Amino acid sequence: MADCIFCKIVAGEIPAKVVFEDDQVLAFEDLNPQAPTHVLVIPKQHIATLNELTAETAPVIGHMAHVAAQIARDREFAENGYRTVMNCNQDGGQTVYHVHMHVLGGRALSWPPG
C-alpha cells in the first residue's frame, strides 16, 4: 500500500529500530514508547484492520503473538507479565491502518484501559 507508513517500514523506505524479522512479520520499537519495552509486531502483508482478516490471512496473527512472547522472554519480563494490544478502528484508538500488535512490558500496567 503506497501511503501506508508501516508498509514503508517493511520496504525499508522509512527507518525503524527492527528487533525481529522473518518472511511473514517485522517487529520494531514504537516511536513513542508507553513502557520500558514498547515494540510493534506487524505482518509484512498490508492488512488495514482486524476487520479485514480472512481465513487465509488470520494465521499470521498467531505468529505475531508467538513473536511477541519470544520478545518478552528475550527481554526477561515474560514471567512477570506484559500486555499485547491490537487497536481496531476509531473507538479502539487505531491511528495506523496496518494491523499491528503492541507489546508492552517492563512495568506493571493498569487495567481497564481508558
What minimum distance in Å lies between the beta carbon of 81 and ligand AMP? 20
Quote the CA–CA distance of 65 and 84 in Å, as a whole number. 8
**H or E stretch including 35?**
none
CB of 11 to ligand AMP, least distance (A): 13
CA distances from 112 to 96, 105, 109 (A): 22, 16, 9
Task: Give yes or no for residue 100 binding Zn ion (CB under 5 A).
Answer: no
- Shortest reach from residue 87's CB to ligand AMP, in Å: 4
Residues 3-32 that bind Zn ion (CB under 5 A): 4, 6-7
Q: At 69, list the grid cell.
A: 512472547
103 interacts with, out of ligand AMP, Zn ion, none, CB within 5 to 8 A per kind:
none
Q: Is the separation of the CB atoms in 26 and 20 below 8 Å?
A: yes
Binds 8: which of Zn ion, ligand AMP, none (CB < 5-8 Å by kind): none
The verdict on whether 98 is a catalytic residue reads no
